[in-house]
Structure 1
Amino acid sequence: MRRARLVLTWAALGVLTVAFMYPFVWLLSASFKPRGEVFDHRIIPETFTFDNYIQVWHAAPLGLWLVNTLFVTVLAAVAVTVTSAMVAWGFAYFRFPGRNALFGVLLGTMMLPGAVTMIPTFLIWNSLGMVGTLTPLWAQNLFGSAFYIFLLRQFFLGLPREPFEAAKIDGANNWKIFTRIALPLCRPAIVVTLLFEFQAAWTDLMRPLIYLRDSATFTVPRGLKALLDQFGFGGEWHWEIVMTAGVITTVPMIILFFLGQKHFVKGIATTGGK
């Protein structure tokens, strides 16, 4: 019975793996096909070609878009991780009147739809003369994120207080306790936050559509939208070009996930504490 259950479990996992992997495998396969074979349902291309990669690289400044996206994602991920960790540490470690009520208000902001603050936020950046630049795409993260604050707070609450109290007795101030003890112990949750925000910023299309005007400042998702418009005019969709651009921009995220997979799984498993 146990063996049969194990076989069924692995079979179900295998089916789910194929279901999740098939879209990317199809995308990768389509990027090596000529236009007439994109939808022929063959995983292995009948006519294998690299022309799509050459064409897409010359059709758009894809390298510049990748650099812009990397710039935005790194700053956004680092900014939101640092600020969220500081706020989360305050909620988890310090005892002050109204702490739980204030934390409840913070969680309540997660219920607000993004569309509610979209126009006021745009007006603020427009008054600062930042529309058309990359700054609005990452600078908002300097104020932290309610979701990441909650995630990191849960991890901090699971840490024993004894090491922090011992450090305080030895003369360490709150900043040293946070940076030298709390953050190293919180490394898995920090990595999860970085990966989550990196993925969110890398794939974000809405804010680039709102704030970016010049193709020289486009990020990858905004550039893909421009490519889709460029190769979709006249009713003749050049899907092989769009698929190729999709592969080029997806590969970095896959590499990043595999590099941080160990910390990612550990962080997810250990952030559901108190």
Structure 2
Amino acid sequence: MLRSLPVIGLAAVFVFPFVVMLFTAFKTPEDIFSAPPTLLPESWTLENFARAFEDIPVWLYLGNTLLVTVLSVIGTIISCPLVAYASVKIRWAGARPLLIIVLLTMMLPPQVTLIPVFLIWNGLGAVGTYLPLVVPAFLGTPFLIFMIRQFLVSVPNELIEAARIDGASEFRTYAQIVLPIARPAIVTAAVFQFVWTWTDFLNPLIYLTDPDRYTLSIGLYAFFGQNDVAWGPLMAACVLFTIPAVIVFLVGQRFFIGGVSAGALK
């Protein structure tokens, strides 16, 4: 029990802001600004949620966010396993350089390439569209490629060689043998990508210029600036923003834990 106390304390530090946000969403303005402050609301109300839907085009922002997130997840589960498989299970001269390039891009902070990448998208006329938010996922994410690669190391080469001897093409071997085995790692990558894209603030802020294209993250930021910190409705909107990410994690938790553990042990 004593060994668990540091873990429990650290978990409480991370969970406490979410708990405060959740209870604040159900508080009246009087409870929010009461002195001394209280965690639980004295009078529970759903007015904050109603006002959030009135003041914020939640459904529009939700649809935009879902579109970007789903496309990014699709791009991730298409590109990352392919690159990971090519780097570890196909014998070719570029396998080792490919792995080195992936590792080097992981070490490069995204802030370093922020301006050059923006200039590229601006030159292509893609600023103001969803292309800069979606297309990179179809080109592969270095961390997720490396994670899936580490998982694929455990796949017996004999299975792949047997399929090749039986006349299966490389793509058929990949699709029918490797992908089913790597499902925990792929689901883990999908969960990572979903959470990253769903909660992404910087990229939508940089590339989206039309309010009708806003995602939830910058939509809530705009609401924050326009309504002089209306904490109740803002917390209610943040709860709605957080719930999908929590649901996705809980649904994919079994695969998520298995994929991370397996990748860490390789």
Instruction: State the TM-score, normalizing by the size of structure 2.
Output: 0.94
2:60 is aligned to 64
Task: Tell me the CA shift for residue 13 of structure 1.
Answer: 4.4
Q: Distance in 1 between matches of 2:66 and 2:106?
A: 26
**Aligned pair partner of 2:204 in 197, 203, 208:** 208
Q: Deviations over 1:164-212 (max 9, x none)?
A: 1111111111000001110000000001100001000001111111111
1:139 is aligned to 135
Q: Distance in 2 between matches of 1:50 and 1:98?
A: 58
Question: Is 1:173 aligned with 2:169?
Answer: yes
Task: Tell me the CA shift for residue 103 of structure 1.
Answer: 1.4
Written as runs of structure 1 = structure 2, the 5 A alignment for 1:1-274 is: 7-40=1-34, 41-232=37-228, 237-274=229-266
Task: Tell me the CA shift for residue 98 of structure 1.
Answer: 4.7
Q: Deviations over 1:106-160 (max 9, x none)?
A: 2111222212222222222222222212222111211101111111111111111
Q: In the alignment, is the contact (CA less than 8 A) between 2:73 and 2:194 conserved in 1?
A: yes
Q: In the alignment, is the contact (CA less than 8 A) between 1:88 and 1:150 conserved in 2?
A: yes
Change (3 A) 1:86 1:59: same
Q: Distance in 1 between matches of 2:27 and 2:82?
A: 49
Task: Tell me the CA shift for residue 9 of structure 1.
Answer: 3.5
Q: Distance in 1 between matches of 2:111 and 2:40?
A: 43
Q: In the alignment, is the contact (CA less than 8 A) between 1:158 and 1:273 conserved in 2?
A: no
| Number of matched pairs | 264
Runs (4+) of structure 1 moved beyond 6 Å?
A: none
Task: Tell me the CA shift for residue 273 of structure 1.
Answer: 4.3
Instruction: State the TM-score, normalizing by the size of structure 1.
Output: 0.91
Task: Tell me the CA shift for residue 44 of structure 1.
Answer: 2.1
DSSP 3-state at the match of 1:272: helix
CA RMSD across the alignment: 1.6
DSSP 3-state at the match of 1:270: helix
Q: Which runs of 5+ in 2 are unaligned?
A: none
Larger deviation: 242-251 or 113-122?
Answer: 113-122
Q: Distance in 1 between matches of 2:235 and 2:189?
A: 29
Q: Distance in 2 between matches of 1:207 and 1:56?
A: 24
User: Residue type of the partner of 1:261?
Assistant: Q
Aligned-pair identity in percent equals: 39
Q: Which runs of 5+ in 1 are unaligned?
A: 1-6
Q: Distance in 1 between matches of 2:13 and 2:265?
A: 32
Change (3 A) 1:158 1:273: farther
